[in-house]
């Protein structure tokens, strides 16, 4: 079984994130869900992003990096949207990463001053018409990440929803979320001990 550090999106550590983590735990994986917002949650993406700007993206990224302190090096880093940033940074820069799962976001690999580490598999999940994922360049960064790699994959789902795996939210897309969870569990089964 794998150990996973799962970062929340701009809405904060919501019940939907907890539900996703719960699905992974039910399959025997250990999942840590740090709260980068220190108890704040939002129901609107714009309000959540506004709060992230107020706190500072660099501060949130640093909180994410600190969340890995005390955890084993051999871990899978995962994140939804905003949470994909610390997940991707840790997968690229912290020794021993077992893999990365990036949901609804991906930044260019050179954003963290290093190449993607050899032997670290990754999955990127997003909707093919999500304006945040597609129009802001995340899908292009994801395509570059998975290019010429057998152990890194991009999964595109039909639709426009950004937080499609956020159970209980209006953006939730049950069919896509179920397939995403299935693929993530398969991934974790392949990297877990």
pLDDT (tens digit, 9 = 90+) per residue, 87-97? Answer: 999 999 999 99
CB 163 within 8 A of CB 9: yes
What average pLDDT does the segment 101-122 reach? Answer: 96
Rounded CA gap, 86 and 91, in Å?
8
Judge whether residue 193 has pLDDT over 60: no
pLDDT at position 168 is 86
Mean pLDDT of 106-122: 96
**Superfamily classification of domain 3-191:** Alpha/Beta hydrolase fold, catalytic domain (3.40.50.1820)
Q: What is the DSSP string of 114-151?
A: SPPPTT--EEEEEETT-IIIIITSHHHHHHHHHTT-SS
For residue 89, how many other CB atoms are within 10 A of its CB? 23
d(CA 13, CA 40): 8
User: What is the token pair recorded at 135?
Assistant: 């129009």
Give the mean pLDDT of 160-187.
96
Matching residue, tokens 């997968």: 91
Share of the chain above pLDDT 90, in %: 96
DSSP assignment of 16-81? HHHHHHHHHHHTT-EEE---TTTT-B-SSHHHHHHHHHHH-HHHHHHHHHHHTTTS-SS-EEEEEG
User: Beta strands 3-7 and 152-157: pairing type?
Assistant: unpaired
The pLDDT of residue 169: 86
Question: pTM of the prediction?
Answer: 0.96
The DSSP output letter for 77 is E
pLDDT at 49: 95
> Given pLDDT bands bounded at 50, 70 and 90, which one contains residue 86?
very high
pLDDT band at 192 (very low <50, low <70, confident <90, very high): low
Cα–Cα distance between 100 and 165 in angstroms, integer? 17
72 pLDDT above the threshold of 80: yes
Split at pLDDT 50, 70, 90, the class of 135 is very high
Work out the burial of residue 131: count CB atoms within 10 Å of its CB; fewer than 13 is exposed, 13-18 middle, 19 or more buried. exposed
Locate the domains of the chain by residue range: 3-191
Token output for 162: 């950004």
Q: Which pLDDT tens digit goes with each residue over 20-67?
A: 999 999 999 999 999 999 999 999 999 999 999 999 999 999 999 999
In this prediction, residue 144 carries a pLDDT of 97
Which residues 6+ apart lie within 8 Å of 70 measured at CB? none
**How high does pLDDT run on average in the chain?**
96
């Amino acid at each position: 079984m794998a150990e996973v550090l799962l970062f929340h999106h701009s809405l904060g550590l919501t019940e939907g994130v907890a539900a996703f983590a719960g699905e992974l735990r039910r399959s025997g994986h250990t999942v840590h869900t740090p709260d980068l917002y220190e108890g704040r949650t939002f129901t609107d993406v714009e309000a959540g992003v506004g709060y992230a700007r107020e706190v500072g993206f660099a501060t949130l990224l640093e909180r994410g990096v600190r969340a890995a302190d005390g955890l084993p090096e051999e871990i899978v880093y995962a994140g939804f949207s905003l949470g994909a940033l610390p997940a991707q940074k840790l997968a690229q820069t912290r020794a021993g990463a077992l893999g990365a799962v990036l949901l609804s976001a991906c930044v260019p690999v050179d954003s963290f001053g290093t190449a993607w580490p050899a032997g670290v598999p990754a999955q990127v999940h997003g909707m093919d018409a999500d304006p945040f994922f597609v129009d802001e360049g995340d899908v292009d960064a994801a395509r570059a990440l998975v290019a010429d790699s057998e152990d890194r994959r991009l999964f595109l789902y039909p639709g426009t929803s950004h937080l499609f795996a956020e159970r209980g939210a209006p953006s939730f897309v049950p069919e896509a979320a179920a397939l995403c969870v299935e693929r993530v569990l398969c991934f974790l089964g392949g990297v877990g001990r």
